[in-house]
Structure formats: C-alpha cells, structure tokens
Structure 1
Amino acid sequence: MKVTKFVLGASLVALLAACNNQSKQADPQAATTTSTEAETPATPATVYVNSDSLLTNYEYFKEIRTRLQTKSQDAEKDLRRRADAFQKDVANYEQTAQGMTMQQRSTTEQRLAQRQQQLQALSQQTGNELAMEESEEMKKIYDKVEAYLQNLSKERGYKMVLTYQRGNSAILYGDSTLDITTDVVKGLNEQYASEKASAKKETPKK
C-alpha cells in the first residue's frame, strides 16, 4: 500500500489559470506618455510557472510528501507484519489439522477466516485514510500556491499565469523571460519559513 504519487500536473493547470486578475483601469494620462516611458519594457500580461520545478523546490510540499511517504511505509510494514503472523497460523493449522476433532477444525477455520476478513478490512481502511489525508494536504498546497499567485499577479500586473510541465503541457514554447518559477518558489519558501517561525514562537514552552 503506497501513498498516491504527488503530481500537481493537470490539476495545477486549472489552479494557476484561475489566478488571473482583472485588468487595471486605463490610465487617463496614457496619451501623454513620454517617449522615455514608452520605451520602458511593459510587464507581460501572461507568464508561466514550471510545475515540475515548483514541486521539486517548494519546501512545504517536500515536507508533506516526506511525512506522508513515511506514514504510508509504516502502515505497510504493520500490515505486512500482521499478514505474516496470519500466514504462520494458517501453516500451523494445516500441519496440525489431522490431529484435531471436527469441532476443533471448524472453530479454528472460522477464527482464521475472521482474521483474514479483518486484515482485508484494515488494509482497505488504512488505504482510504491515507488517500483522504493526502487529498486534504494537497488542497492546502493548492490554496497556498493560488493565494500567493493571486497576490503576486496583483503586485506585478499579470493577467494570466499558466503552468508548464515538460511532456504534458499545452505550452509548446515559452520565452524564458516569461518564466517566473524561480520568483514563485523563492516567495513561497520565504512565506513558509516565516509561517514556521511564527508558529514556533507561538508554541508554549513545556
């Protein structure tokens, strides 16, 4: 049983595209813009983020992934230990069944069948709980990235933020000057570091 692989991929496309901002009001003095101002490079209306690089370098995502992977591995080890113990009991029954009475065999078989059902139910329950927790954590990541991109777009005047993923993207080519991945990762990590520092200060000492 393994936690589903973390890949924002297509989901991040919708998330980033949703971070579009309303166009700024036209400047009534635009007609009087000087030639020097006109030569100033304008802020691009559309930019993009490399989702692979974002996931690789976003500290919050990496911590969540490591924690859930560890939890999944621990659950898998526990289930394997229980399954091994069950198999040993089954093997022991098969070796001793001939020396048992019919009533003893019936009771033992019922007990083993019940344990098998319990193991299957536990495996299903554990898998569902891990999947639910992963879904909740991924939503938190989506919310954090979306909120950050919305604020960044307002500050810089972006009208649309696209996502790029090599081999799985609608963007066939994008000029490197439109790639804001580095800025986004840096900003997200600084924000997360600040949140962790604040949480640490608020935690009462024992």
Structure 2
Amino acid sequence: MKKLSLIVFGGLLAIGTLSCDKAENKGTAATSSTTTKSDAEKKTVYVNTDSLLANYQFYKDAQKEFENKGYRLQVDLGQRERGLQGELQAIQQRAQTMTQAELQGADIMLKKKGAELQQYSQQRQQALANEQAKKMQELYANIREYIKKHNAENNFEFVLGYTTAGGGILYADESADRTKEIVDGLNKEYAETKKSAPAKK
C-alpha cells in the first residue's frame, strides 16, 4: 500500500486565506490616504507545507497507521488469493479422474470465488481509501483551525502555503516563514489530544 501521498495535501498550497476584518476601514478607504496602525501591522506570511508535513506528528502517525493497514490488507488479500490458487491446483491434479459435469461445476465454483475475491478486494481498498480521505480532512481542519487561533494574536492578513516542489508561490522571503511556530503549536495541541484520548484496545 502506498504511503500517504503529499499530493493528497495539494489543498495545503492555499493553506489559508485568513482575512482580517476590514469592515471598519471600508468607509474611510476612499476618502483617506492615511494608513492606520492596524493596517500597517498586517502582513502576509507563509508555512512551508513540505516541512510542516515532515514534522507534524499527526501526519506522521497517520502515515504509519495507513502503512500498517495497507500492509495488513495486502497480507489478507495475498492469503485469500493463495487459497484460491491452491483449490485450482487441487482440481487440476484430480482433473483426469473427474467427470465432465464435475469439471464444469468446479470451473463455475472457481470463477465465482474469483469474482467474490475481486469484489472483496475492491471493497476493502475503497474502505481504506475513504478512511484515509477522512483522516486527511481531519488533518487539514486541524491546520486551518490552529492557524485561525494563532492568527488572532498576530493579525496576519494572509497565511500562505509554500512548497519547494512548485505551486503558485515562486519566491518566499525566509523572514516571513512561520512554519516552525505553526508546527510546534500543532504538535503541542496534538500531544495534549493524545493524552486525553481514551486508550485503544
């Protein structure tokens, strides 16, 4: 089973457009060229999404979780496939002593079991993909909610997602990088959540 792909987090390239409330300034913007102190303090910062995912414990735990689930699924499917292959070989060994009707019945049975295995495989893989997608939605929500709370203290107008692999941001000044403080805050919240969560049986 493939690792959780960074492509799943393509949406993080626009991690947040956290606009501050401008309602008070709209009425005076057209008539005054003076910039208020609060406007002057607003600025755009960014989070390096590659670094965020590499260091966010929630993501690393999720990646490990789905690697394990994917591995267990592959083992399960492999065992079922080998079982079916064993039945085929057993029938082939007895083929010369079987009647035509028995051979036809065995063929129908094997095809039915093959179709059932294929359906089972598709259902299990789809269920795992759905679970993974739900986990990614949770991760994305965690990041957005934390940035929203974090921004209440910082008054950033935009918090952008930057990745070295490409995307809409071609250059980002390191002085605007808030990745470490965002990751540290996320990890602190996640650690507290894990402590308070009931132990899995």
Shorter-normalised TM range: 0.7 to 0.9
Provide closer, same or farther for how the CA distance between residues 57 and 48 of structure 1 changes in structure 2, counting only shifts above 3 A: same
Distance 1:167-1:173 versus aligned 2 partners, 3 A rule? same
Conserved in 2, the CA contact under 8 Å of 1:44 and 1:178?
no
Cross-structure match for 1:199 = 197
CA distance in 2, matches of 1:49, 1:60: 17
Contact 1:20/1:150, CA 8 A, preserved across alignment: no
What one-letter code is carried by the residue in structure 1 that aligns with 2:114?
Q
Q: 2:152 aligns with which of 129, 134, 154?
A: 154
The verdict on how the C-alpha distance between 1:7 and 1:139 changes in structure 2, with shifts beyond 3 A counting, is same
More deviation in 59-68 or 1-10? Answer: 1-10
Q: Which residue of 2 aligns with 1:21?
A: 20
Kindly tell me: are residues 135 and 190 of structure 1, through their superposed partners in 2, closer, same or farther at Cα, counting changes over 3 Å?
same
Helix, strand or coil: the match of 1:11?
helix
CA distance in 1, matches of 2:2, 2:178: 33
Distance in structure 1 (CA, Å) of the matches to 2:184 and 2:4? 27
Provide the residue aligned with 1:184 in structure 2.
182
Per the alignment, do residues 98 and 71 of structure 1 end up closer, same or farther by CA in structure 2, a change over 3 Å counting? same
Equivalent-residue separation in structure 1 for 2:4 and 2:122 (angstroms): 14
Q: Distance in 2 between matches of 1:4 and 1:98?
A: 49
Distance 2:21 2:153 in 1: 12
Alpha-carbon deviation of 1:139? 0.6
- Which range is displaced more, 58-67 or 3-12? 3-12
Percent identical among aligned pairs is 31
Aligned to 2:140: 142
- Alpha-carbon shift at residue 178 of structure 1 (Å): 0.2
The DSSP-based 3-state class of the residue aligned with 1:17 is coil
Match of 1:59 among 47, 57, 60: 57
Give the deviation of 1:51 after TM superposition: 0.5
RMSD: 2.4
The alignment covers a number of residue pairs equal to 189
Distance 1:152 1:160 in 2: 12
Q: Which runs of 5+ in 1 are unaligned?
A: none
Q: 1:103 and 1:171 mapped to 2: Cα distance?
A: 69
Ranges in structure 2 where 5+ consecutive residues have no aligned partner: 26-33
Any conservation in 2 of the 1:48–1:180 contact (CA below 8 Å)?
A: yes
- 1:1-206 matches, within 5 Å, as 1-2=1-2, 5-14=5-14, 16-23=15-22, 25=24, 43=41, 45-199=43-197
Verify the 8 A CA contact 1:21 1:154 in the aligned structure 2.
no
**Displacement, 1:22?**
2.6
Tell me the CA shift for residue 64 of structure 1.
Answer: 1.2
Residues in 1 aligned to 2:104 and 2:155: alpha-carbon distance in whole angstroms: 75
TM-score by length of 2: 0.85
